[in-house]
Amino acid sequence: MRNLNLLHVVTAVASNCAKEKVTHEEGLVAHIDTGIMFVKSGELSSPGHLPACKHTLIPKKLLLGIRPPAQSRRLNLTHDAVGQSATVKELQQTKEERAEVSQSNVVTLGSQRQRNKGRDEGHFAQMHSQQQTDQEVFNWTKQWYPIASEMDLDHAIPHSMMLLGKKLVLWRDGEEQWHCFEDACPHRKVPLSEGRVEEGELQCGYHGWRFGGDGRPTFIPQLRSVDEKAEQNACSSSRSCAPAYPTQVQQGLIWVWAESGGSAFLESTQRQPCLNPLKQSTPAEQFTSSYINYIRDLPGGFQEWIENMTDQSHVSWAHHSAAGNRHGPKQGYFKAISVEEKSGSDGGFEFVFDWTANSKTVNEETTFEFVPPVYSGFTVKGGRFCLWIYAVPVSESCTRLIINAGGNFPKPKPAPGLAGLKARLSPQPLIRTLLRRLRWAPHLQLNAVNDGDIVFMHQQTHNNRVALGTDFKGHYYTPGGSDRGVMAWRKWLAEKGSGGPDYENSTCGEAYRADSGRLDRRALLDRYTQHTANCKACSQALKQVQLARRAFAGVGAGALLALVAFLGRGSALLTAGPVISLAAAALGAAAFAQLQKLEAQFVFTDWVNHEK
């Protein structure tokens, strides 16, 4: 949990500070809204237990790349496993009460200032200045994140998910409400995602414990069969509860708040998910979608994928033949117009530019908008069409892209007479209607587009992690205006984003070979695991393609056998029987080959940039 512009200082309330011992770097000091805590020689102490030694503020931006032990990042003393100890009164503390706490801290520090007035007055002023800065730091965990498309999930089973390195389980109850828990049964820490949904509740597959939507157990079979009172006592214990995360559905996506517990459910009501404003404001009958919640888990860091989206000058080169054309008359054309930073830690930035991706498109003034934590939107001048992408940080080395596109295109009134009939019979609207019904078809196009970036993003993530903590103005050489969006993102990340989110578990390098660090291209470009297996439209289409391929293989084999039989009886090759058999065999072989190519587009297609 990161509220401060400091180096991963342990989250704790002042009243509990003296009770905890946390190993950490020596000499860290931090402000929190309920007090001040100091870390010295591995000990955490409250202002009332202020050690008589010098304390130095260490800004986070000076120490990027240094990570605390996992247990300190996970410590949260504001609530227990399900947050039941965090009372509404505590969570709704008024500004006056906060001011009283702050004043008490000043009094506590007073005695120390008497020992060395000059030193401590300067130190207190420094802490106050840092507190002002801390208010501008973005908190990555107190946010809504989209993690799944509702239309693509089987509502009858639990689903394993990951967000910020946290292993989660997503499931729907009998009242058609989605819930998200930590994916570990409180009993013996086995994954709840391997269980089932039974009678509208989540049941652990290991011992049969059942949980309601609030995370509390409702059934412990090993106790109920022996002592129902013991079961009641166990079910009422906070230790038996599964940590629950706030969840909601918006624009077809399931959103999860990145913190659990009672305080999280209250805090999550004060903020709304970042939705696309064009779709939100356009009547459904006027909004035409090109892509609807296409999701793919891609190797590469969250920072690198956002950076990739701020830079559209790469499209002609990295996506040649899929979305760009490096041989076009204006290949590489890109004119930066303006960059505007939004105020406050929750404000991102806008980058306006003029560009063309290939010879078929005219120069289009486009506005790129980043809204933290994960929204990137592209709006063409005039505001009638928008492409928006959520880049969700799954782990340190994996990012989930959720892509949508569409615009406000009211259906024109049909022209009267022959002209209207001709327009209705035109192939273009028929093709568009067919593509909307075949949701998997544009997904194959997006798979090809993403393939052009994956190898670059994967290796760039590795290179940047090696150089983590450096000034990106010195790390990158960016002489052109096309990189203004990139540097605006890196500037926001350093000044407001604390260098990026923390992750529950370190998973960096999972797609590398353990011994040599070489890229495994089949793992990097694995379309089936990254997309098809989790997309209802594509998984169903793949099954149909495989079924058709086997059918045409059978047709071809049968036709060849028939041809052999005809020839074996002495029939002439050009008679009806052999000719029909030969034609059927050729048709079967051709169809088989085409279906085999189509099947590969759902599973794995290598993308070698220099061969495109």
Domains of the chain, residue spans? 14-134, 144-270, 277-526, 536-611
Q: What is the dihedral of CA 551, 552, 558, 559, to 10 degrees?
A: 160
CATH of domain 277-526: 3.90.380.10
Q: For position 448, what pLDDT does the model report?
A: 96
Q: What is the DSSP string of 548-610?
A: HHHHHHHHHHHHHHHHHHHHHTT--TTSHHHHHHHHHHHHHHHHHHHHHHHHHHHHB----GG
Q: Please, which residues bridge with residue 390 across strands?
A: 375, 402
What is the C-alpha to C-alpha distance for residues 523 and 512, in angstroms, rounded to an integer?
9
Q: State pLDDT tens for residues 88-147.
A: 334 344 434 444 434 443 333 334 334 443 433 344 334 434 443 444 789 999 999 999
Average pLDDT over residues 427-448: 77
Q: State pLDDT tens for residues 270-281.
A: 999 999 999 999
Average pLDDT over residues 333-358: 88
- Strand (E) positions, 112-231? 144-149, 159-163, 166-172, 178-182, 196-198, 201-203, 210-211, 217-219
Q: For position 567, what pLDDT does the model report?
A: 61
> Is pLDDT above 70 for 259?
yes
pTM: 0.74
Find out whether 602 and 538 touch, Cβ atoms under 8 Å.
Answer: yes
> Is pLDDT above 50 for 492?
yes
Top-confidence residue, 65 or 554: 554
Q: For position 6, what pLDDT does the model report?
A: 29
- Percentage, residues of the chain above pLDDT 70: 66
Query: Which of these, 329, 323, 333, 375, lies nearest to 353 by C-alpha position?
Result: 333
> Is pLDDT above 50 for 8?
no
* Residue for token pair 């107190």: 142
Q: State pLDDT tens for residues 354-396.
A: 887 665 555 678 999 999 999 999 998 878 889 999 999 999 9
> Is pLDDT above 60 for 291?
yes
Average pLDDT over residues 502-528: 68
CATH topology of domain 144-270: Rieske Iron-sulfur Protein (2.102.10)
> Is pLDDT above 90 for 598?
yes
Q: What is the CA radius of gyration of the chain?
A: 29
Would you place residue 612 in the very low, low, confident or very high pLDDT band (cuts 50, 70, 90)? confident
Q: Is 315 exposed, middle or buried (0-12, 13-18, 19+ CB in 10 A)?
A: buried
Burial 90-116 (b: 16+ CB within 10 A, else e): ebeeeeeeeeebbeebeebbeebeeee
